[in-house]
Structure 1
Amino acid sequence: MAFLSNHCLVLLSLFILITPLTFSQTPSIYDILKENGLPGGLLPKDVIKSYTLSQNGVLEVLLVRPCFTKFDTNALYETVVRANLTYGRLVGLEGLSQEELFLWFPVKDIIVDDPKSGLIVINIGLAHKQLSWSLFENPPDCKSDFLSKF
């Protein structure tokens, strides 16, 4: 009987040691953004299907559907959002557009120039916009129908 108890203790100890490795959690995309000096709210909530971050810094985020949201102006996320991720920067962005003066422009880059300033620079090619970090602290709701959001 003592042999069986010791055997069970050994098996239980092995299970406890192995379990954290087996069930390790992948960080959320919002955590990845924050770890890289960007606000988590740059991507919408409840529509992220998955993401990959390659060793060379290419971040690809898959959404379950395209959707609209609003920061200071209207924004459209496509089903794939891709960019080169470095600390404080999403460069060469694809899959995100912003409405300016009733026209839609692709967002090229999102850059945090100086984290102390509380500003984020949005590059839409024709212009650079400085927006408050606070607009992007929380992931926004995202609607599939443009009119239902506004």
Structure 2
Amino acid sequence: MADPKQGATVAKGHEEAMKMAVSLLKEFGLPEGMLPLEEMVEAGYVKETGYFWIVQKKGTKHLFKMISKQVSYDAEISGYIEKNKAKKMKGVKAKELMLWPPVNEIVVDDPPTGKVHFKSLGGITKTFPVQAFAAGQCWKPNRK
């Protein structure tokens, strides 16, 4: 199988990796505060396929206060990004009751309705206001 990272643009170090991640979110119409990551090591993107990945020193958890939703980010996150959508994601989980189902797909309504939908592999879909994930939203880091 071919390496999904082949032909990628790669950013190293926290500052450069964060810039790349935020610019990808902006470019594809996804909320800019959706990946409140710390100590990023690397971010990469393959324009031809839409494959992206992000590596942090260690996993983190964040509480998105506006919606009281805790999200867990593994040390490595990957998936495919396209207009208003990130799919086939790995490394992101959202707390639901006592479970941590993986988030497989994130979709922003087009045309915009102010809603973003998070889908898990089990078919569960949760919808939230886009502004809950806007850049600069208060979140509380909580180390894994």
Structure 1, unpaired ranges of 5+: 1-24, 146-150
Higher alpha-carbon deviation: 34-43 or 109-118: 109-118
Report whether the alignment pairs 1:113 with 2:109.
Answer: yes
Residue 20 of structure 1: aligned partner = none
Report whether the alignment pairs 1:138 with 2:135.
Answer: yes
- Return the index of the structure with the highest Cα Rg: 1
State the 1:70 CA deviation: 1.4
Higher alpha-carbon deviation: 77-86 or 112-121: 112-121
Q: Is the 8 A contact 1:45 1:141 kept in 2?
A: no
Residue 54 of structure 2: aligned partner = 61
How many angstroms apart in 2 are the aligned matches of 1:142 and 1:114?
Answer: 31
Count how many residue pairs are aligned between Structure 1 and Structure 2. 121
Higher alpha-carbon deviation: 121-130 or 101-110: 121-130
Report whether the alignment pairs 1:102 with 2:77.
Answer: no
1:61-102 per-residue CA deviation (whole Å, 9 max, x = no partner) reads 111210000123211000111011111110011000011011
Q: Is the 8 A contact 2:37 2:56 kept in 1?
A: no
Residue 24 of structure 2: aligned partner = 32
How many angstroms apart in 1 are the aligned matches of 2:108 and 2:61?
Answer: 23
Structure with the bigger percentage of helix: 1
Residue 51 of structure 1: aligned partner = 43
Identity of aligned residues (%): 23
State the 1:143 CA deviation: 2.5
State the 1:29 CA deviation: 1.1
How many angstroms apart in 1 are the aligned matches of 2:82 and 2:124?
Answer: 22
Structure 2, unpaired ranges of 5+: 1-15
Q: Is the 8 A contact 2:71 2:95 kept in 1?
A: yes
Q: Secondary structure at the match of 2:93?
A: strand
How many angstroms apart in 1 are the aligned matches of 2:30 and 2:129?
Answer: 12
